């Protein structure tokens, strides 16, 4: 459905000179430094899949969205949507792809402020060539699903920012594109609206078979919605199902953290040689322990805890956010100047 | 069959644009009232101004019998010719472009659609002004093929210039539009819009001679005011059409260059 092949983008694009004099005169330099936005990004998204693009700020998420929309020409590589090159065969993907860019409250002025929600949606449906009766049916369905039916005749400018964002989500329900790109779709939303939006995204995927590419900084969102995710920072870092990535990370992570709440005093020497580190503090008549231990010593820790009146015990759960933070910080470190020196053997970690 | 369905589809897109823009326009009723007030004042002042002024120039060589006709016909032609000003820039540099670029509607239909209401409204206003000039200021006008071709050629020239300017602005990410600004301001000052070019100081007259609007106004006044036929203005018109053709080509090439440059730089749509 979507295939990104060696997608590379540098800003500004490399300057093509008629003669390459670099080998003759070493003082000739490019006028501006090239900033990589994407480096050899490769991945495939299957039909009907919800695919998460996760990366820190400046990772290249918006550049990817722009390339998919033929607004940016990649320096190298291709992006295929349904087998069509997003740049060279742009005409063949027009109307099949719809993008809601993040952070844009008025969707690039597509929505007219002093016009009702319904008339705005009808106008966009007409641009997409949806017959009037069908458009009306879809608009009613979308507004019902998003709990916006009572806002149908309201001027768009009278809606709150969160409601406007929900109205954007009505568009893929009405236009029913094959590919939907959502660039941070819940960025301004409260918890309740965010959950409504999540349900709509899942509906789109399950009910209409829409292939969805989701970029977000909310890792809970990615974990809840995405079938697969790609963690990248200009270049690919990891790819897979969120659960699989978490399990892999869990297997790699040797140290565990246990949070224990108990009654009475604790003899920390009992944990010597078993726990790597232990923190003890008291609060409201309870004793709290933070125990850091190796995975294979968990059994021994639990055995010691049977001697105490344990009220509560929590095992630190690893989330996609932990995996993301670990992998991205590692990547940022490896690509930093210190990391370069470590790789060359000049410095140690 | 495909051609007809594409035309129907484009007409529907145009209708949708006109409908939504009309909704927005009439939602600002106070603005509309103010617009009519300023228009009324404009007409009144131009009329009074034209009656009070005496110009020491041979007005009849422009095909108009008096200065009032000279000024009024000039302003009608100027308004009509400048209708497409800013149409390309408002489309490509506008925030709506990135979404519409991927819609199944044709870009031409979207482009015309985005500008349709503004052009229709301004065209309606110009026609209304013309009728007021005829009824209340005794303006005499002639309508023939020559008038239509002169105006069309002028419209295309301004469109070409706008393409040129938009290409430049997209490539350079400029928020200002110096080219259109310069063309517009010089059109008002040196092309003979308000007074004959020979009334200009000698050192400004060469600028008047190279300004395309000078010739548009000259031919427009001769045909619309003096009733000259197409055949009578043909030699000058041919030159004008050649310049328009060259400018259209240049404008298109500059626009294409700017558009592709912006796609390489990632500045299209300014997301």
For residue A323 the two structure tokens come to 């995996």
**Residue A337 has what pLDDT?**
58
The residue behind tokens 């670099």 is A22
Distance from CA of A187 to the nearest CA of B (A): 15
**What's the mean per-residue pLDDT of chain B?**
90
Chain B CB within 8 Å of residue A99 CB: yes
Model's pTM, two decimal places? 0.83
**What's the mean per-residue pLDDT of chain A?**
86
The residue behind tokens 């010593």 is A297
Chain B CB within 8 Å of residue A120 CB: yes
Is the CB of A12 less than 8 angstroms away from the CB of B268?
A: no
CA distance B131 to B30: 25
Q: CA-based angle A343:A348:A349, to the nearest 5?
A: 95
Chain A CB within 8 Å of residue B270 CB: no
User: In the predicted model, what is the mean pLDDT of residues B212-229?
Assistant: 94
**Partners of A5 in the β-ladder:** A78
The answer to whether residue A21 scores a pLDDT higher than 50 is no
Span B172-201, pLDDT tens digits? 878 888 888 888 899 989 999 999 998 899
Query: Which secondary structure element, helix H or strand E, spans residue B217, and what is its range?
Result: helix B212-220
Percent of chain B surpassing pLDDT 70: 98
Is the CB of B98 less than 8 angstroms away from the CB of A62?
A: no
Is the CB of A127 less than 8 angstroms away from the CB of B110?
A: yes
Name the band, by pLDDT with cuts 50, 70 and 90, for residue A334.
low
Is the CB of B266 less than 8 angstroms away from the CB of A9?
A: yes
Q: Which of A9, A94, A110 sits opposite B104 (nearest CB)?
A: A94
Distance from CA of A33 to the nearest CA of B (A): 13
User: What does the H/E/C string look like for chain A?
Assistant: CEEEEEEEEEECCCCCCCCCCCCCCCCCCCCCCCEEEEEEEEEEECCCCEEEEECCCCCCHHHHHHHHCCCCCCCEEEEEECCEECCCCHHHHCCCEEEECCCCCCHHHCCCCCCEHHHHHHHHHHHCCCCHHHHHHHHHHHHHHCCCHHHCCCEHHHCCHHHHHHHHHHHHHHHCCCEEEEECCCCCCCHHHHHHHHHHHHHHHHHHCCEEEEECCCHHHHHHHCCEEEEEECEEEEEECHHHHHHHHHHHCCEEEEEEEEECCCCHHHHCCCEEEEEEEEECCEEEEEEEEEHHHHHHHHHHHCCCEEEEEEECCCCHHHHHHHHHHHHHHHCCHHHHHHHHCCCCC
**Residue A333 has what pLDDT?**
63
Of the ranges A7-21, A25-39, A183-197, which is most confident? A183-197
The answer to whether residue A22 scores a pLDDT higher than 90 is no
Chain B CB within 8 Å of residue A209 CB: no
Chain A CB within 8 Å of residue B260 CB: yes
B240 close to B216: Cβ distance less than 8 angstroms: yes
User: In the predicted model, what is the mean pLDDT of residues A129-133?
Assistant: 95
**Residue A25 has what pLDDT?**
43
Name the band, by pLDDT with cuts 50, 70 and 90, for residue A349.
very low
Name the band, by pLDDT with cuts 50, 70 and 90, for residue A19.
very low
Span A270-321, pLDDT tens digits? 999 888 889 999 999 999 999 988 888 888 999 999 999 999 999 877 788 8
Chain A CB within 8 Å of residue B105 CB: yes
Question: Which chain B residues in 6-45 lie under 8 Å from chain A, judged by CB atoms?
Answer: 9, 12-13, 15-17, 19-20, 23-24, 27-28
Chain B CB within 8 Å of residue A140 CB: no
- Peptide bond before B23: cis, by omega within 30 degrees of 0? no
Is the CB of A110 less than 8 angstroms away from the CB of B28?
A: no
Chain A CB within 8 Å of residue B5 CB: no
pLDDT: which is higher, A27 or A149 = A149
CA distance A208 to A205: 6
Q: Which residues contact B94 (CB under 8 A, 6 or more apart)?
A: A108, A109, B114
Span A226-278, pLDDT tens digits? 999 999 999 999 999 999 998 888 777 767 788 999 999 898 899 998 888 89
**Residue A103 has what pLDDT?**
59
């Amino acid at each position: 459905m979507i295939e990104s092949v060696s997608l590379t983008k540098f800003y500004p694009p490399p300057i093509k000179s008629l003669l390459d004099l670099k080998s003759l005169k070493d003082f000739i330099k490019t006028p501006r430094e090239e900033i990589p936005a994407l480096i050899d990004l490769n991945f495939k998204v299957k039909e009907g899949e919800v695919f998460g693009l996760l990366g820190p700020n400046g990772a290249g998420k918006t550049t990817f969205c722009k390339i998919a929309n033929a607004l940016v020409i990649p320096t190298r590589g291709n992006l295929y949507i349904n087998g069509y090159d997003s740049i060279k065969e742009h005409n063949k993907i027009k109307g099949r792809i719809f993008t809601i860019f993040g952070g844009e409250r008025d969707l690039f002025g597509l929505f007219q402020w002093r016009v009702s929600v319904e008339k705005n949606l009808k106008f966009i449906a007409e641009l997409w060539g949806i017959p009037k009766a069908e458009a009306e049916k879809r608009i009613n369905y979308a507004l019902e699903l998003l709990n916006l039916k009572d806002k149908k005749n309201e001027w768009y400018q009278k809606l709150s920012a969160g409601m406007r964002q929900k109205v954007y989500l009505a568009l893929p329900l009405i236009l029913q594109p094959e590919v939907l790109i959502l660039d941070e779709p819940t960025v301004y939303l409260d918890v309740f609206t965010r959950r409504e939006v999540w349900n709509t995204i899942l509906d789109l995927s399950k009910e209409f078979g829409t292939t969805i590419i989701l970029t977000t900084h909310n890792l809970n969102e990615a974990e809840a919605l995405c079938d697969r995710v790609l963690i990248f920072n200009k270049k690919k870092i990891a790819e897979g199902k969120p659960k699989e990535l978490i399990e892999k990370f869990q297997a790699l992570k040797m140290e565990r953290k246990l949070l224990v709440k108990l009654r009475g005093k604790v003899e920390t020497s009992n944990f010597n040689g078993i726990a790597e580190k232990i923190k003890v503090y008291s609060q409201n008549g309870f004793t709290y322990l933070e125990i850091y231990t190796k995975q294979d010593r968990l059994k021994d820790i639990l055995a010691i805890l049977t001697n105490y009146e344990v009220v509560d015990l929590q095992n630190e759960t690893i989330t996609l956010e932990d995996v993301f933070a670990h992998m991205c910080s590692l990547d940022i470190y490896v690509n930093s100047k210190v990391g370069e020196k470590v790789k060359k053997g000049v410095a140690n970690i | 069959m495909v051609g007809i369905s594409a035309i129907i589809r484009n007409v529907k897109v145009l209708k949708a644009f006109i409908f939504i823009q009309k909704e927005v326009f009439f939602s600002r009723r106070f603005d509309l009232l103010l617009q009519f007030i300023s228009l009324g004042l404009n007409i009144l002042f131009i009329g009074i101004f034209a009656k009070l002024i005496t110009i020491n120039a041979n007005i009849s060589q422009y095909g108009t019998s008096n200065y009032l006709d000279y000024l009024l016909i000039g302003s009608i032609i100027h308004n009509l010719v400048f209708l497409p000003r800013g149409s390309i820039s408002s489309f490509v540099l506008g925030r709506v472009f990135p979404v519409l670029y991927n819609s199944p509607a044709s870009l031409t239909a979207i482009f015309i659609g985005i500008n349709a209401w503004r052009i229709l409204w301004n065209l309606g206003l110009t026609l209304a002004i013309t009728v007021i000039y005829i009824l209340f200021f005794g303006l005499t006008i002639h309508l023939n093929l020559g008038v239509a071709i002169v105006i069309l050629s002028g419209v295309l020239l301004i469109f070409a210039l706008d393409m040129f300017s938009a290409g430049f602005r997209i490539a350079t990410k400029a928020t200002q539009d110096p080219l259109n600004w310069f063309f517009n301001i010089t059109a008002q000052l040196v092309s003979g819009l308000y007074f004959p070019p020979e009334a200009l100081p000698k050192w400004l007259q060469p600028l008047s001679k190279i300004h395309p609007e000078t010739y548009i106004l000259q031919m427009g006044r001769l045909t619309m005011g003096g009733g000259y036929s197409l055949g009578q203005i043909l030699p000058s018109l041919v030159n004008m059409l050649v310049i328009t053709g060259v400018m259209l080509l240049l404008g298109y090439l500059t626009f294409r260059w700017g558009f592709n440059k912006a796609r390489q730089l990632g500045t299209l749509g300014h997301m």
